[in-house]
Chains A and B, each alone.
Chain A
Amino acid sequence: MLGSFAVLRKQSLLGDAISHAALPGIAIAFLVTGAKESNTLLLGALISGLIGAFWIKSIITKTHLKSDTALGLILSLFFGVGMLLLTFIQKQPNANQAGLDKYLFGQAATLLEKDVWFMAIVTGVCLTVLLLFWKEFKLLLFDADYTKTLGFNIKFLDALITSFIVAAIILGLQTVGVVLMSAMLLAPAAAARQWTNSLAIMVGLAATFGAFSGIIGTGISASYPNLSTGPVIVLVASVFVLVSFIFSPGRGLLFKEIRFRQNRNDLKLHKTLSFMYDIAKTHEDIDHPHSVRILNNFHGYTKKSLHKLEEENLIVVIGTNWTLTKKGFEKAKNLYNQHIETND
């Protein structure tokens, strides 16, 4: 759901960066409290995720480094620090440390009922805030300058939306793990984007796609032994994306290709027709027959296109000769006029 905003804000890979950046937070939270209570760790993750997110932002705005560099930088550096701390913890004489690294790859199966409730609550809060600030977010998304002139505090809105993305990512970490989190954020949104141009529908669709890939993914991974949940969910989500890319009616590759072919054929027909018109024009009577042979490929002529023209009653073919019909002549004439008009 929040992924929609990330995708539209061209911050797709923020999810990837944040999920890596959360690691040192988890490690530090553990070092400080010594507890493996998941809420404390999540809080640590949240804080370090937020630091990462805002550092990325300040790198982009304050220096000439581009966003991709900033993301990659924060991602790898924070993760490195996290690794350092984790291995450091592992050497500590504290039996409690086992299982910290489950955050790396996520284990949906280890989730407790309490965790699920917690997630549900956070999701609810996100949803409420999203609805409350719907108009503002939408404006910010598509026209930040306009939002500013309207007097909204864009820094606040920006921070709010970033914080929610971070919170969503941190929660998801437990389920699918660091690496696959970015896909969970992105894939449903990218798939939804193909089907609609409306933000509301897109957000709704993304949520549905996300939920379905979650359900289907868990189903598949539960029914086969040795399949971890996270990767399966991601693969299911990727399939959603693939299908959307190909089959969505407005933007999909399949329909684009069909439209492309259609346009090309239309153009060919028009070309043939206008060539015929040029010839017919030089004769006094329109129905003066001409040989098919003077048409060639260059004029967009194929047997199929000739046939099609005949079907549309634009020409009459008798043996190896053709004549323009009255309708064809008119159409070709207008075609020509239209052509000039559009050129002007």
Chain B
Amino acid sequence: MTSAQIEIQLIASLVAIACAIPGVFLVLRKMALISDAISHAILPGIVVGFFITHDLSSPLLIIFAAFTGILTVFLVEFIQKTGLVKEDTAIGLIFPALFSIGVILIAKNANDVHLDVDAVLLGELAFAPFDRLELFGADVGPKSLWVIGTILLITISLLVAFFKELKVSTFDAGLASALGFSPVILHYGLMTVASVTTVGAFDAVGAILVVALTIAPAATAYLLTKDLKKMILLSVGFGVFSAISGYWLAHGLDASIAGSIASVLGIVFLIVFLFAPGTGMVSVIYKQSRQKIEVLLLTFLLHLKNHKEKKERHVNHLGEHINWQKSQAKSVLELALKNNMIVIENDIVSLTKKGNTFTENAINYITDHSEEAIEEMKKDFFLFRG
């Protein structure tokens, strides 16, 4: 590994961490798309900043861009407050308009400078190490490393300082304001951090990757845990992992680093989405099919309990009576047999003692929600767990 490679990975990891922390709160506050809006809407801010400073790397540019980001949030909130349209529509209206202004400004005035839309949207991490910061004549490392490092430091110290307040206001805005923290200040504080991070990261990794790095690790972590601290740690972990393995993927394919980091994030999310215990696709589908069959079982047992006469309990009659398909009926019968709830003699189905008490308990639970009776059943049946 050359030092440039190490620096790129370092920058990517720092960006990943810096994005993941506000990302967790954005996802929890259902404002994930704000990051998308900010990342597009900062374009006019950058352009205007550029016209004033004529220097793409001036810190003033970051301030301008962050200001536009906050302006976006403010406009979105304003439109939403009028009640004319929903929040998502407000976001969808504001950022393309701001972005258009940015594109037109560039096209009109800055055709001949190094500032085009591609650079803003896509970014190029590979060039980051060549833009060095010189301090007192000495080379102290790539500039974006310092920029994003500073932002990260600020983010982390804010997070530590206001962790409790953020937590309360995220999960219970009413309680937060009753306790005397202003949700508005926290909201805009968070938005400021998100904008600054987006701006700081955009020139290294591009706007789209910022969105990916903000939302994806947090969403992945959210599928795995419901503990806020664990969620933050997990999303930081996912971010860094994707940053580094994404870099090597890009290295192998000789393709865009930003794109491959996002792709790795996508793969990680897909895996978690499918296989996360409890919340993943596989376990959700399993749970749903179990619950379905258990409802059927219960219906079946109730039917048996209600009918003492043999005709109603004949195996062939059941399919007709409850109107099940063959395979479904078979699996229900098997489940009941396995649990020793029914016995079949000469094609006549009858409840066992266990089946009888089970059905009674279930009826009691359904009619008066008495919790004690079903404690036993919870062990074997999903249906009674939630």
A228 CB–B CB distance under 8 Å: yes
Contact A20 B208 (CB under 8 A): yes
Tell me what chain B mostly uses at the interface: helix, strand, loop, or mixed: helix
B227 CB–A CB distance under 8 Å: no
Closest A-chain residue to B40, C-beta based? A179
Contact A84 B263 (CB under 8 A): yes
Contact A179 B279 (CB under 8 A): no
A58 CB–B CB distance under 8 Å: yes
Closest A-chain residue to B206, C-beta based? A83
**B104 surroundings in chain A (CB, below 8 A):** 227-228, 231-232, 235
Contact B93 A190 (CB under 8 A): yes
Name B258's contact: one of A7, A62, A80, A88 (CB within 8 Å). Answer: A80
**A66 vs B27: C-alpha distance in the bound complex, in angstroms?**
8
Closest chain-A Cβ to B48's Cβ sits at a distance in Å of 16
**B84 surroundings in chain A (CB, below 8 A):** 190, 193-194, 245, 251, 253
**Which of A66, A80, A179, A231 has the largest count of B CB atoms less than 10 A from its CB?**
A80
Contact B263 A81 (CB under 8 A): yes
Contact B88 A80 (CB under 8 A): no
**A187 vs B214: C-alpha distance in the bound complex, in angstroms?**
27
Tell me what chain A mostly uses at the interface: helix, strand, loop, or mixed: helix
Name A16's contact: one of B36, B107, B108 (CB within 8 Å). Answer: B36
One of A67-75, A137-145, A334-342 contacting the partner: A67-75
B222 CB–A CB distance under 8 Å: yes
Contact B32 A72 (CB under 8 A): yes
**B214 surroundings in chain A (CB, below 8 A):** 72
**A76 surroundings in chain B (CB, below 8 A):** 36, 208-209, 211-212, 215-216, 262
Contact B82 A245 (CB under 8 A): yes
What's the tally of chain A residues with a CB closer than 8 Å to chain B?
63
Binary contact track B277-294/A, C-beta < 8 Å → 1, others 0: 001110011000000000
Closest chain-A Cβ to B126's Cβ sits at a distance in Å of 10
B168 CB–A CB distance under 8 Å: no
B255 CB–A CB distance under 8 Å: yes
**B280 surroundings in chain A (CB, below 8 A):** 63
Contact B259 A87 (CB under 8 A): yes
What's the tally of chain B residues with a CB closer than 8 Å to chain A?
64
Which residues of B87-107 are within 8 A (CB) of A?
Answer: 88-89, 91-93, 96-97, 99-101, 103-104, 107
**Which of B27, B40, B97 has the largest count of A CB atoms less than 10 A from its CB?**
B97
Contact A86 B40 (CB under 8 A): no
A59 CB–B CB distance under 8 Å: yes
**A82 vs B263: C-alpha distance in the bound complex, in angstroms?**
9
Closest chain-A Cβ to B271's Cβ sits at a distance in Å of 13
B191 CB–A CB distance under 8 Å: no
Contact A65 B262 (CB under 8 A): no
Contact A63 B284 (CB under 8 A): yes
Closest chain-B Cβ to A326's Cβ sits at a distance in Å of 43
Name B92's contact: one of A16, A20, A73, A78 (CB within 8 Å). Answer: A16
**A13 vs B88: C-alpha distance in the bound complex, in angstroms?**
6
Closest chain-B Cβ to A288's Cβ sits at a distance in Å of 48
Ordered nearest first, which 3 A-B pairs have the shortest CB separation? A80-B262, A83-B259, A183-B96
Interface residue ranges, A against B (CB under 8 Å): 7, 10-13, 15-16, 20, 58-59, 62-73, 75-88, 91, 101, 104-105, 179-180, 182-183, 185-187, 190, 193-194, 226-228, 230-232, 234-235, 238, 241, 245, 251, 253
Q: List 10 A-B contacts (CB under 8 A).
A: A7-B85, A11-B88, A15-B92, A72-B32, A72-B35, A81-B262, A104-B121, A179-B121, A226-B108, A235-B100
